[in-house]
Structure 1
Amino acid sequence: MAAVLDFIFLCYFITHIPISIFVDAQVLLPKWIFPTKVVELKAWYCAEFKDTMMIDPPAWFRTFVYCEFIFQFPFFIVAIYAFIKGIKNCSWIRTPMIVYSAHVATTTAAICFHIMYNDFSKSKPKGPTTQLERQALLMFYFPYLLIPMLMLTNFIFRVDLQTKQKMQ
C-alpha cells in the first residue's frame, strides 16, 4: 500500500508544479506574463465555476498563494526528489512532509469552508449560489485537501520511516 500512496503523492507533486506556475500564479502576477491560452483557460474556469477567489482574490487567499510560492513550491522539488530516490532512502523527508501536508490541509480546509458557507449572493464577481454550483467548485479544491490529509496520516503513522529515523 505504501508504494501505491508514494506513487499518488509523486504524481500530486509533479502535477502541482504546472498548476502553480500557470494557474495559481495568475493571482499574483500580471496577465501579460502568461501565455494567452493559459489566461483564457483561467478565464473559462472562473466563468464556468464562479471561482471568485481566482477572479478577485481576497487578501487571505492571496496570502495562501504567496505561501504556496515561498514555502510550498520549493518543497515540491524536494518531495519529487525524495519520491524518485525512494522514500525509504530519504527518511529525512518524513518531518518536512508532515509540516507541508498539515499546512496545505489547513489552508485548503479554509478555502473549502469558504466555498460551502460564504454568502455569495451580493458578491461581485458573482460566486456560486446553488448547492450544485458550490459542489462543482469544491471538486476542484477537494483533491488538495484529500491528498494532503492522506499524506499527513501516512507520514505520521508510517512505521518504516519512524524506525529508520530513530536509528539515525
Structure 2
Amino acid sequence: MAAAPRCRERLFAFYFLSHIPVTLLIDLQALLPAGLHPRGLTELLQWYAATFRDPMMLQPPEWFKAFIYCEAFLQMPFFPIAVYAFLKGGCKWIRTPAIIYSTHVATTLFAILAHILFHDFSKSEHLGPQTQRERLILLSIYMPYLLIPLLILFTMLYNPYYNHVEKRKRK
C-alpha cells in the first residue's frame, strides 16, 4: 500500500493552522459588532481592503456573510481537528471530513471568484477593483483558498493511501 503523502499532509496542516487566526482575527470582523475587535485588527482589515480593493470584507454582501457564518460555525471547529490529523499523519479517518470540507470551500470560492471577475464594482462600491489588474490581484489573494482545498479533495479521492478499500475474501 502507498504511504501517506507527508509533504502534502504538512501543507494541509499548515493551511488549517494558518486559517485559525485569519478566521478569528480578520474574517469574523464582518459578522461581529464594530468595536469588538482591537483597533489594530480593525486597521489591519481596513488596510487589506484598501490595498487589495476588497469591498467584501468591509461591506460584505449578504451571500458573502452566509459564507463567513459557515466558516465560523462549520469550518472553524474542523480546523484544529484537521491540523491534528495532518500533523500526526496517516489518519485515514480524516478522509470523509476533508472531502466534505474541501467540496464546501471550493463551491464557496467559485462564487467569490465569479463575483470578483464579473461584478460591476464601479456602480456600487468605490473600493472594489476597477481595473483588470486589480481584479487579478484580488483573485490571487483568494486563489489559494480554492487551490489547496481542491488539492485536499484530489488527495482524499485519488491517493491510494486514503482511498484504499479493504477487499473481503470470499469463503
Q: What is the TM-score with the length of structure 2 in the denominator?
A: 0.91
Aligned counterpart in structure 2 of residue 77 of structure 1, from 80, 95, 111: 80
Match of 1:53 in 2: 56
Contact 1:49 1:137 in 2 (8 A): yes
Q: Secondary structure of 2:123's partner? A: coil
Match of 2:123 in 1: 122
Match of 2:44 in 1: 41
- Bigger relative CO (Cα 8 Å, ≥ 6 apart): 2
Match of 2:104 in 1: 103
- The structure that is helix-richer by fraction is 1
Unmatched tracts of structure 1, length 5 or more: none
Match of 1:137 in 2: 138
TM-superposed CA distance for 1:132, in Å, is 0.5
TM-superposed CA distance for 1:109, in Å, is 1.3
TM-superposed CA distance for 1:124, in Å, is 2.8
Contact 1:55 1:125 in 2 (8 A): no
TM-superposed CA distance for 1:166, in Å, is 3.4
Give identity over the alignment, percent. Answer: 48
Count residues in correspondence.
Answer: 165
Aligned counterpart in structure 2 of residue 8 of structure 1, from 2, 6, 11: 11
TM-superposed CA distance for 1:160, in Å, is 1.2
Worse-superposed segment, 118-127 or 68-77: 118-127
| C-alpha distance after superposition, 1:68-104 (max 9, x if no partner) | 0111000101101111222x2x211101101100100
Q: Secondary structure of 2:124's partner? A: coil
CA RMSD of aligned residues (A): 1.6
Aligned counterparts of 1:92 and 1:6: Cα–Cα separation in 2: 14
Q: Secondary structure of 1:30's partner? A: coil
TM-superposed CA distance for 1:29, in Å, is 0.4
TM-superposed CA distance for 1:161, in Å, is 2.1
Match of 1:27 in 2: 30
Contact 1:22 1:38 in 2 (8 A): yes
Q: What is the TM-score with the length of structure 1 in the denominator?
A: 0.93
- Larger Rg: 1 or 2? 2
Unmatched tracts of structure 2, length 5 or more: none
